[in-house]
Amino acid sequence: MSESQSSKQVEILGREVCFQGFFRMERFRLRHTLFAGGWSPVVERELFERGHAAALLPYDPVRDEVVLIEQFRIGALEAPGGAWLLEIVAGIIELGETPEEVVRRETVEEAGIEVAEVEPIYDYLVSPGGTSERITLLCGRVDASRAQGIHGLPHEGEDIRVLAVPFTTAWRWLEEGRIDNATPIVALQWLALNRKRLRLKWGVTPGV
């Protein structure tokens, strides 16, 4: 750890659970060191605890297609485009699971297809101003010709429509704002930068 990093400290003065349901909300009283020296005033911050997640962009390098899913999201209820979002496969990482195990399971449950090879993309904080959630993002090789229909687990209230579309179509949807949530935006931008390399790695000559 660098000297500047070692000088950054946080002192937790109090911590309480404000709400415990499917998710948890905690309130902290804390102070932290300042860049100019000394300590900040005591501040209160609420933290949304929902665990960590893994997400996967299913990509067929032969057909040059990505598999997207569409489902209802309560957080988008007031969004300009409505509450049904175009997303990629994702799931919460349970105790003892690896991110790859999660996305392999969720790809079967949400899209009805299986993942062959997996390529890591990023591991990032979703919204660190209010939640501790991190997402491990991957890309997975799939056969997009099998991606169709409606999937999800009924006992979890899932109603998921599957769409296999050319990468160029997905990219156009991103530019038009039809894809308007962070995880698929990050994944598609990564694929735009790495598509040629990934196709070569997975045995497909670009242009074929």
Residue 84 has pLDDT above 50, yes or no: yes
pLDDT tens, position by position, 122-172: 999 999 999 999 999 999 999 999 999 999 887 877 899 999 999 999 999
Q: If you average pLDDT over residues 31-43, what whole number do you get?
A: 95
Q: If you average pLDDT over residues 91-118, what whole number do you get?
A: 96
| Residues 9, 38: Cα–Cα separation, whole Å | 10
* 156, 158, 175, 176: the active-site residue: 156
CATH code assigned to 53-201: 3.90.79.10
Residue 113 has pLDDT above 70, yes or no: yes
**Pseudo-torsion of CA 135, 116, 88, 159, nearest 10°?**
-120
For residue 31, list its beta bridge partners: 11
Q: What is the pLDDT of residue 22?
A: 80
Lowest model confidence (mean pLDDT) among 39-48, 96-105, 155-164: 155-164
| Residues 151, 111: Cα–Cα separation, whole Å | 6
- For residue 145, the 8-state DSSP code is G
What are the structural domain ranges in the chain?
A: 3-49, 53-201
Mean pLDDT of the chain: 93
Tokens of 154: 């009924």
Does the annotation count 156 as an active-site position?
A: yes
